[in-house]
């Protein structure tokens, strides 16, 4: 579960990044976060990840509560969150198995458990035979599948996807969206995107952010700014 | 271990630079440690020898000599005052000249003076005791090893200061070089660090591979440096055996433990290895901590 209550973010020079944000994403739901560049999407994602502290208000992520005072459990908070980036952020020196397993090593899972769960995740994203390949041997779409696999292993309850289809062609984009659709019952997914086709075709809750404020919050909305 | 080795192979020049600095630092530290302990034990040895010998006139009676001895003991500035009678002196002379019977024939106990061998509690009391005994009746000559002790005290003090300065310099230089080389490696992996951090890695988890690498390098350097030190000690052994022929052993107090320095032995070798290893761990731990801290 993710909840924002009266959250504002003000930068030291005085510019306001977010103003009085309120929303709650229940566990096991899929929501889009849309808005023009610079509207505050990334700031919201950074707040959820504990990279940034709110100037006022409270952000609640799973059992963690983040206020404007120093937050000490950043590492533990991030261990419940899987992140999928536009640029994949796959480690070139590690093979696919290691790339997916890295988040599980961080959480201290044993080798047998890691082996089993990584193989399952590779099945989920449709790359069962690619475990021992290196990132340079994979296409962009396959790399994004690896990033999704990395985000779902190790009991991560929340997935934050920051423009995950931004670098992909339309066909691959839909393949990726299919994976997200299959995951939405098990995970809380917040999907930041500019892609109107995705938002309009796969109708889910849409949070529209503009100038640091939530301007629309529709249960089965389309892409409208 | 595999990841440590592969990381070293990927940055061979930085690894070599780190190794060289660590190796020379540990070698010099080991040499300084050996020099300091050796000089310290030599000083302790000299300090435990009877340092003042008071020769009495042949005509001085034992009672008068004992009176001087009692006065010396009363000053509480002596550890030990040993009376060497004319007969004892003759025995010592006999032992000393056993290869030259002619010299022995020419001597009898009557012509040898009785003496007192005085061991002062502190080297600083030496002069005071000498002045005191010179004023006593029946005293013929007073010998004491002031110059030797003074020189040794002076030398040890200098070595202590030099060692402290060198240690500080080596520590500082090594930490700077290792922090810089580790920082390069950390900078190369800053994307990975940022990703690990986003996935919930603790600072300890992120630091671990860098620390493992540099600490491994420190231990390898320490092994090489200690190997050279042990070879050096072994090669110097014949020379030192000749030089210190009259000295049975050199010891020094190391905390509550009486450590034998000379002849070289396993305990001393292990202590030297231990000191350089601890020093290497200290350097590598501090530098890897600083280098990674910048990016965390």
pLDDT in tens, B65-91: 999 999 999 998 888 899 999 888 888
Check residue B57 and report its DSSP letter. Answer: P
**Both tokens assigned to B219:** 């231990």
**A213 close to A53: Cβ distance less than 8 angstroms:** no
Task: Give the pLDDT of residue B1.
Answer: 67
Higher pLDDT, B85 or B101: B85
**pLDDT confidence of B150, banded at 50, 70, 90?**
confident
Residue A23 lies in a domain: no
Are the beta carbons of B200 and A106 separated by less than 8 Å?
Answer: yes
Q: How far apart are CA A90 and CA B143, in angstroms?
A: 83
Q: Mean pLDDT lowest for which of A138-147, A161-170, B2-11, B211-220? A: B2-11
HSE toward the beta carbon, residue A219, CA cutoff 13 A: 1
Taking only the tens place, the pLDDT of each residue in B223-260 is 999 999 999 988 988 888 888 877 888 888 777 788 88
Cβ of residue A19 closer than 8 Å to a chain B Cβ: no
Q: Which residues on chain B are in Cβ contact (under 8 Å) with A91? A: 191-192, 195
Residue A214 lies in a domain: no
Task: Give the pLDDT of residue B227.
Answer: 95
Ranges of H-type helices in B135-202: 146-188, 190-198
In chain A, what percentage of residues exceed pLDDT 70? 100
Average of pLDDT values for B37-55? 78
Taken as a whole, chain A contains a residue count of 225
Task: Give the pLDDT of residue B6.
Answer: 79
Ranges of H-type helices in B49-118: 62-74, 86-96, 101-105
Q: What is the domain extent for residue A124?
A: 92-153
In chain B, what percentage of residues exceed pLDDT 70? 97
- Res. B152: pLDDT tops 80: no
Task: Give the pLDDT of residue B50.
Answer: 57
Give chain B's domains with CATH numbers: 2-47+149-293 (no CATH), 50-144 (3.30.70.3040)
Average of pLDDT values for B210-225? 93
**B110 close to B52: Cβ distance less than 8 angstroms:** no
Give me the number of domains chain A comprises.
Answer: 1
Q: Mean pLDDT lowest for which of A57-71, A120-134, B13-27, B149-163? A: B149-163
Task: Give the pLDDT of residue B97.
Answer: 76
Task: Give the pLDDT of residue A195.
Answer: 87
- Res. B107: pLDDT tops 90: no
Cβ of residue B199 closer than 8 Å to a chain A Cβ: yes
Average of pLDDT values for B215-223? 94
- Res. A7: pLDDT tops 80: yes
User: How many CB contacts within 8 angstroms connect chain A with chain B?
Assistant: 35
> Average pLDDT over chain A, rounded to whole?
92
Residue A103 lies in a domain: yes
Q: Which residues on chain A are in Cβ contact (under 8 Å) with B202? A: 75, 106
HSE toward the beta carbon, residue A186, CA cutoff 13 A: 15
- Res. A96: pLDDT tops 60: yes
- For the entire predicted model, the pTM comes to 0.71
């Amino acid at each position: 579960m993710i909840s924002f209550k009266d959250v504002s973010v003000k930068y030291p020079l005085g510019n306001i990044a977010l103003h009085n944000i309120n929303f709650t994403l229940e566990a096991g739901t899929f929501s889009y976060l849309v808005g023009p560049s610079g509207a505050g999407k990334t700031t919201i994602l950074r707040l959820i990840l504990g990279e940034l502290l709110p100037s006022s208000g409270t952000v609640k992520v799973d059992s963690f509560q983040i206020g404007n005072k120093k937050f000490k459990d950043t590492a533990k908070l991030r261990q419940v969150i899987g992140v999928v980036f536009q640029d994949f952020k796959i480690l070139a020196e590690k093979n696919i198995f290691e790339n997916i397993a890295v988040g599980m090593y961080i959480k201290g899972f044993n080798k047998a458990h890691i082996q089993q769960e990584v193989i399952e995740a590779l099945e989920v994203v449709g790359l069962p035979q690619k475990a021992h390949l290196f990132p340079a041997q994979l296409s962009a779409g396959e790399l994004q599948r690896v990033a999704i696999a990395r985000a779902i292993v190790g009991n991560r309850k929340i997935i934050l996807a920051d423009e995950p289809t931004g670098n992909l062609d339309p066909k691959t984009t839909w393949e990726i969206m299919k994976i997200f659709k299959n995951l939405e019952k098990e995970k809380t997914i917040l999907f930041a995107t500019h892609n109107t086709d995705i938002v309009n075709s796969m109708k889910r809750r849409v949070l529209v952010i503009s100038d640091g404020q939530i301007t629309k919050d529709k249960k089965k909305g389309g892409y409208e700014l | 271990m595999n990841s440590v080795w592969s990381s070293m192979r990927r940055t061979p020049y930085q690894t070599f630079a780190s190794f060289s600095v660590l190796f020379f630092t540990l070698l010099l530290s080991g040499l300084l440690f050996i020099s300091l302990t050796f000089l310290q034990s030599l000083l302790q040895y000299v300090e435990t020898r009877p340092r003042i010998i008071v020769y009495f006139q042949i005509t001085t009676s034992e009672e008068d000599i004992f009176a001087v001895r009692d006065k010396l003991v009363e000053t509480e500035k002596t550890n030990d005052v040993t009376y060497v009678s004319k007969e004892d002196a003759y025995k010592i002379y006999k032992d000393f000249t056993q290869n030259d019977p002619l010299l022995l024939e020419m001597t009898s106990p009557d012509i040898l003076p009785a003496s007192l061998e005085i061991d002062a509690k502190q080297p600083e009391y030496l002069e005071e005791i000498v002045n005191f005994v010179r004023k006593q009746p029946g005293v013929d000559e007073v010998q004491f090893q002031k110059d030797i002790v003074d020189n040794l005290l002076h030398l040890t003090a200098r070595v202590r200061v030099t060692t402290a300065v060198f240690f500080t310099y080596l520590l500082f230089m090594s930490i700077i070089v290792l922090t810089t080389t580790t920082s390069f490696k950390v900078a190369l992996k800053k994307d990975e660090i940022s990703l690990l951090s986003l996935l919930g890695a603790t600072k300890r988890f992120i630091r671990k591979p860098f620390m493992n690498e540099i600490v491994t390098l420190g231990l390898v350097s320490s092994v090489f440096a200690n190997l050279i030190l042990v070879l050096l000690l072994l090669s110097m052994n014949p020379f030192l055996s000749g030089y210190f022929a009259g000295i049975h052993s050199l010891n020094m107090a190391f905390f509550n433990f009486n450590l034998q320095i000379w002849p070289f032995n396993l305990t001393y070798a292990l202590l030297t290895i231990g000191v350089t290893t601890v020093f290497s761990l200290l350097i590598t731990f501090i530098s890897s901590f600083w280098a990674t801290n910048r990016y965390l």
